[in-house]
Chains A and B, each alone.
Chain A
Amino acid sequence: MIGIFHYLALSAVLFCIGLYGVLTRRNGIAVLMSIELMFNAANINFVAFSYYFKGIHFISGEVFPLFVIAVAASEAAVGLAIILSLYRNKKTVNVDEANQLRG
């Protein structure tokens, strides 16, 4: 029987994979993908718990992911534009090589 804690564990694992990717990947686009994983981990939580709560407040849990998907898309659009502008200036999308600003 798959219970609510299975979903919670799945989302936690997904979130940690995303966090690991953000911290270790050097390619800007790969970092962006890892961040999307973290967003989706939260979405799994919302959907799973809105099913679990059924009666009272389920609707906010179902509506939340829809908004999150839209926000993630707009964030990706802006992020890719910024990465593109960095590529035009420095011919790299590597986060490590963007190191002009250092104290």
Chain B
Amino acid sequence: MKGSHLIIFIPEIAVLSLALLLLIFDWVTPKGKKVWIGYFSAVMILVFMGGFLCLAKNRFFPYAASFHGFVFDAFALYFKELFLLVVFLATLFSVNFFKQDDEGQGEYYALLLFVTLGCFLLVSSADLLMLFLSFEMMSIPLYVMCAYRKKDSKSSESGLKYFLIGAITSALLLYGISLVYAATGTTNLHAFIEGLVSANKLAYNPILLLGLILMLCAFCFKIAAVPFHMWAPDVYEGAPAPVVAFLAVSPKIAVIGLMTRLFLAGMQPLQPFWVFLFAVLAAFTMTVGNLTALFQQNLKRLLAYSGIAQIGYILVGFASIQPFFKNMPTLQLGYQAILFYLAAYLFSDLAAFGIVTYLSAHGIEDVKSLKGLAEKNPMIAFLFLISLLSLAGVPPLVGFVGKFYLFLAAVSSRLYWLALLGVVNSVISLFYYLRVARTMYFEKEEGVSIPYPSFSMQVALLVAVLGILIIGIYPFMITHFSLQVLTPLSNVPISHVMK
């Protein structure tokens, strides 16, 4: 490979170098000053975000380029910007959270970046080998981060549970991949999809179907879709709060991105199977997530179940594809809604988890200990209210626009029952979000006031809440971009292949 082609790996190289640099910094920084590693990391991530945007604007840049196992296109770039945003906010959340127990901070920020690198590679992978390796690269550092508080038995337990579930997930994925390889004779996604399209007979090969189903199960485990969701609340409750904020967003977005690439770029011969499959998965995931969330007392568990429900809404987008007519606008609508909803989920969930991080640093983990928060700290209560309303889908916040697009896609694919179920679920979800709001605003309690959040937390919360408001009021900047991103993806195979 020629040196100039290395340009398509620039995002990965940048993130990897930053992670290694942080490890060196950790070695030379004296104890007690480790907070600055976090600030440095956050600033560099911001620089990268700007830099990658410039990269996309550069017309000499090969916009859709691929090696055998790696694709770099606008679609991947969109996701890479999202991951950088998540890791930026998660770094800022962590800076003041870990101030008290000052051990292994440098490694912590590096681990955040290693997970991000795994996510980067996952949305860019065009080979099953690359897919498996980046899936592992995304998962393994997260096991360590869940168990980060070594002296806390809850944190260890959460790490163990996430590790066991994650390892089973990897095994299912790997066995699925081996069966797909056995059925098609290739691990390259493009070759494999072309094979699927050209030989219709192959689509009904039982070995291939079993392999694809096992892979889908693995993906469902990672995004915590019902019936593979049981781990999420336990892991979220035990793990440190900023880790949960990261864990609840980045890997889920990465896996959804990968699924979008897989299902949009091919699999048309299998469409009748998976449209129905996704509709059922979406219906169960939404309903179970929302109904269980009604009874939660712990804030992290509440957000875990709410996250499960959010994934259910996203799965509606996968089901919303006209199966009988090859109607391009409809096909775009479902996927466009998914891409939009991922951004909406990112901002809303991170704002909520940021506040949970801040509260948990001051010992508040339950809904009932939120009593009187509106008087003690009106700003925090207000921001929490906004993020919860956005998760519930109240206009004019970003969550509403996202849900509107998703249910519109469902209606235009004639999945009326699914759209209706989605709306009913949104109403159910209002109950538990507003229960939190009522506790904050209408239940008085005298108590010690909580200090205001530190500077880094203020910046992070501001970014997240501004995202909720601005994109909610002016959604077209993302919808426009997501259409551009998706259009080349649906024309298989990728035109520009470099050897």
Judging by beta carbons under 8 Å apart, are A89 and B152 in contact? Answer: yes
Chain B residue, CB-CB nearest to A74:
B140
Judging by beta carbons under 8 Å apart, are B167 and A86 in contact? Answer: no
Judging by beta carbons under 8 Å apart, are A103 and B147 in contact? Answer: no
Judging by beta carbons under 8 Å apart, are A38 and B185 in contact? Answer: no
* CB proximity of A78 to chain B, nearest CB, Å: 5
How many A residues face the partner with a CB closer than 8 A?
46
Judging by beta carbons under 8 Å apart, are B181 and A75 in contact? Answer: no
Which positions 163-195 of chain B face chain A at CB distance < 8 Å?
163-164, 167-168, 170-172, 174-175, 177-179, 181-182, 185-188, 191
* CB proximity of A82 to chain B, nearest CB, Å: 5
B contacts with A: majority SS: helix
Judging by beta carbons under 8 Å apart, are A85 and B179 in contact? Answer: no
Report A-chain residues with C-beta under 8 Å of the C-beta of B290: none
* CB proximity of B437 to chain A, nearest CB, Å: 22
Judging by beta carbons under 8 Å apart, are B177 and A86 in contact? Answer: no
- B144 contacts A by Cβ under 8 Å: yes
- B157 contacts A by Cβ under 8 Å: yes
Q: How many angstroms between the C-alpha atoms of A22 and B172 in the bound complex?
A: 12
Chain A residue, CB-CB nearest to B147:
A82
Stretch at the interface among B13-21, B129-137, B330-338: B129-137
Judging by beta carbons under 8 Å apart, are B182 and A8 in contact? Answer: yes
- A20 contacts B by Cβ under 8 Å: no
* CB proximity of B236 to chain A, nearest CB, Å: 9
Report B-chain residues with C-beta under 8 Å of the C-beta of A71: 132-133, 136, 170
Which positions 19-71 of chain A face chain B at CB distance < 8 Å?
22, 28, 31-32, 35, 38-39, 41-43, 45-46, 49, 53, 56-57, 60-61, 63-64, 67-68, 71
- B154 contacts A by Cβ under 8 Å: yes
Judging by beta carbons under 8 Å apart, are B160 and A83 in contact? Answer: yes
Q: How many angstroms between the C-alpha atoms of A85 and B146 in the bound complex?
A: 12
Judging by beta carbons under 8 Å apart, are B133 and A57 in contact? Answer: no
Report B-chain residues with C-beta under 8 Å of the C-beta of A81: 144, 147
Report A-chain residues with C-beta under 8 Å of the C-beta of B182: 8, 45, 49
Which of A35, A68, A81, A101 is the most central at the interface, judged by chain B CB atoms within 10 Å of its CB? A101
Task: Mark contacts of B125-158 with chain A using CB atoms, 8 A cut-off: 1 yes-contact digit, 0 otherwise.
Answer: 0011100110010001001100100111110111
The contact of B159 among A61, A85, A90, A100, by CB within 8 Å, is A85
- B301 contacts A by Cβ under 8 Å: yes
Judging by beta carbons under 8 Å apart, are A60 and B181 in contact? Answer: yes
Report A-chain residues with C-beta under 8 Å of the C-beta of B181: 45-46, 49, 60-61, 64
List residues of chain B with CB under 8 Å of any chain A CB. Answer: 127-129, 132-133, 136, 140, 143-144, 147, 150-154, 156-161, 163-164, 167-168, 170-172, 174-175, 177-179, 181-182, 185-188, 191, 207, 233-235, 237-238, 296, 298, 301
Task: List 7 contacting pairs A-B, 8 Å CB cutoff, sorted by A.
Answer: A60-B129, A64-B132, A68-B132, A71-B136, A82-B144, A101-B158, A103-B298
Contacts A74-B140, A85-B147, A98-B157 given; 11 further ones with Cβ under 8 A?
A: A38-B171, A45-B175, A57-B187, A60-B127, A71-B133, A75-B167, A82-B147, A85-B156, A89-B156, A90-B157, A101-B234
